[in-house]
Structure 1
Amino acid sequence: MAEAVFLGLGYTARPLAEELACEGWQVTGTTRDRAKAMTMTAGGIRPLVWEAPAPLPEEPFETADLVVISTAPKDGTCPALSAVPFRPFMSDTKLLYLSSSGVYGDFGGEWVDEETRCNPGTERGRDRLAAEKGWQALADETRADLTLCRLAGIYGPGRSAVDSLRGDTPGARAGLSRRLIKPGQVFNRIHRDDIVRGLKALIDASATPGIVNFTDDLPTPPAEPITYAAELLGIEPPPEVRFEDIEDELSPMARSFYAENKRLKNDRLKALVGDLHYPSYREGLSAIYKGSDA
């Protein structure tokens, strides 16, 4: 039986873990919440209650064929990296580190691919890049097979412009449901289901690239999906607001999204999965509005 360990089991990682469990994998996943651990068991996942900086036990890693890391970095390091046992992996263990496209930095709206040199300008981007380097060093030491999965902005059911315009969501509170206008600014994004497809393709592949950008085909100005979501809902879109007029009102996270500007290429992702199910926000938001992600 193939074995997988998930360090972090949130919005993106959990659907993948449940898919693997349905395929017969023995899946272990970390959680800080003992109540959540009960729901994980119902989904076929063996819960491991863990919270940094406590060390992780050796046992799950000793025979793991796959380790998926989605824990967020903190203070320039990855808490999970600091907690893993010394030399924990088999030489052929596959590691997937869910990173961020924020590691690239600002390119003035130009296209970037996986060969582009990283120069993050935000603290969050620098922390991600430091975490990437830490996992790469461990993979080199143990001869594990690591892929750095650089994710664009994630949306999907419950986390989209449709949901934000319908009511109170984290995105709405962060200012992401406003139609902010900043000339030349584009956002990159990807539907959660296409992320899961890409991760599954990496798991199944006999040879994997070291870095893959996870993004859809259409970088756009940030206001476009909000306008389209309002159209789907049959409501007037929020008024356009100039970014410089309300910059000070935005949360630090929301401001950080506008600090850098680039267009991500996704050739490697599409070489793995073929055409995306949701090549742009239009297909993704339409599916969310209809209540179906088929």
Structure 2
Amino acid sequence: MGHMLIFGMGYAASHLARRLRARGWEVTGTTRDGRGDSIAFDETPAVLAALRSATHILSSVPPVDGADSVLARYGDAVAVAPAGWVGYLSSTGVYGDAGGAWVDESAPIKGRRPDRNTADAAWQALRSDVSVFRLPGIYGPGRSILDRISEGRAHRIDLPEQIFSRVHVDDIAGGVIASFKGPADIYNLADDEPCHQNRLVEWGCAMLGTPLPVLQSIDEAGLSPAARAFYAENRRVANGRAKRLLGWSPRYPTFREGLASLIRS
């Protein structure tokens, strides 16, 4: 079995770690404070030792304050590490607004966050065996529209042409694992049916037996800056490359299958 070093044991990375450990892999993860069985990110000797023994390296740490902390602190070591596979969890936000059009991995990088665009390009350039996974909105257990409906935080926004892509956290793990035997490349990991967020709210409310939130303008909804930014871009994300080159297909091809699995669990 392999040894995966994961920088940043967040939601998606922790899910991947559980999948790998269930297969007998050794997984070493970093966190800011070294909680649990992880290594503190700034515990340099321990991180460098893990880099020397890891067969696979993944960073799920987004840039903060304009910089990628993993590349800044450990980029040189990752570049020469003996691992045979390196991955980076990026964002489909690097594509920027497409006016609802489809985007694939050949689309220009013009996202509104220059630090995210720069980090995506820097990981690609770090070494020849890096795979970059561009992810849309992530959902899964404890982090879905069902939770927001139950907590009274769901909104229906009156922007009828707004389209989003999304991906179940289990399908991210599946795509990363599939890439271990595939070519290093850039891969969009998204479901097969981009759609308006209101469709998820309506479906979830029907399944939970909850009244629909009132339809509001984006100003009336009083959204946080982060939530407003979610509605600032409009695109459909194509996933064909991962299907062709990795033999990957989403276990949850639409939000219906994904949310139904969460209701069952």
> Please, what TM-score do these two structures have when normalized by structure 1?
0.83
| Pair 1:251-2:239 in alignment | no
- Residue pair 1:188, 1:263 contacting (<8 A) in 2 also: yes
| Pair 1:179-2:122 in alignment | no
Identity of aligned residues (%): 37
- Residue pair 1:56, 1:85 contacting (<8 A) in 2 also: no
Per-residue CA distance 1:175-194 (angstroms, 9 max, x = gap): xx101121311111011111
| Equivalent in the alignment of 1:189 | 166
Per-residue CA distance 1:75-131 (angstroms, 9 max, x = gap): 2221111111634434653111000000001111111100111111x23xx221111
Per-residue CA distance 1:191-230 (angstroms, 9 max, x = gap): 1111111111012x1x324100011011111111011000
- Residue pair 2:202, 2:212 contacting (<8 A) in 1 also: yes
Query: For residues 98 and 158 of structure 1, what CA distance do their matches in structure 2 show?
Result: 20
Query: For residues 92 and 58 of structure 1, what CA distance do their matches in structure 2 show?
Result: 12
- Residue pair 2:52, 2:82 contacting (<8 A) in 1 also: no
Query: For residues 22 and 257 of structure 2, what CA distance do their matches in structure 1 show?
Result: 27
Q: Amino acid of the residue matched to residue 113 of structure 1?
A: D
Query: For residues 76 and 57 of structure 1, what CA distance do their matches in structure 2 show?
Result: 23
Match of 1:101 among 83, 92, 98: 92
List structure 1 runs of 4+ shifted beyond 4 angstroms: none
Q: Amino acid of the residue matched to residue 71 of structure 2?
A: L
| Pair 1:152-2:142 in alignment | no
Equivalence map 1:74-153=2 (5 Å): 74-84=64-74, 86-88=76-78, 89-90=80-81, 93-120=84-111, 122-123=112-113, 126-139=114-127, 143=128, 145-153=129-137
Query: For residues 69 and 94 of structure 2, what CA distance do their matches in structure 1 show?
Result: 18
SS of the residue corresponding to residue 76 of structure 2 reads coil
> Please, what TM-score do these two structures have when normalized by structure 2?
0.92
Count of residue pairs the alignment pairs up: 263
Q: Amino acid of the residue matched to residue 130 of structure 2?
A: L
- Residue pair 1:30, 1:49 contacting (<8 A) in 2 also: yes
Instruction: Judge which range, 61-70 or 80-89, deviates more.
Output: 80-89
Structure 2 gap segments, 5+ residues each: none
- Residue pair 1:5, 1:67 contacting (<8 A) in 2 also: yes
Q: What is the alpha-carbon root mean square deviation over aligned residues?
A: 2.0
- Residue pair 1:155, 1:192 contacting (<8 A) in 2 also: yes
Query: For residues 74 and 46 of structure 2, what CA distance do their matches in structure 1 show?
Result: 5
CA spacing shift, 1:238–1:94, aligned 2, 3 Å: same
Query: For residues 60 and 92 of structure 1, what CA distance do their matches in structure 2 show?
Result: 10
Per-residue CA distance 1:214-256 (angstroms, 9 max, x = gap): 110111111110110000001211111122444xx22111111
Structure 1 gap segments, 5+ residues each: 41-46
Query: For residues 222 and 67 of structure 1, what CA distance do their matches in structure 2 show?
Result: 34
| Equivalent in the alignment of 1:287 | 261
SS of the residue corresponding to residue 12 of structure 1 reads helix
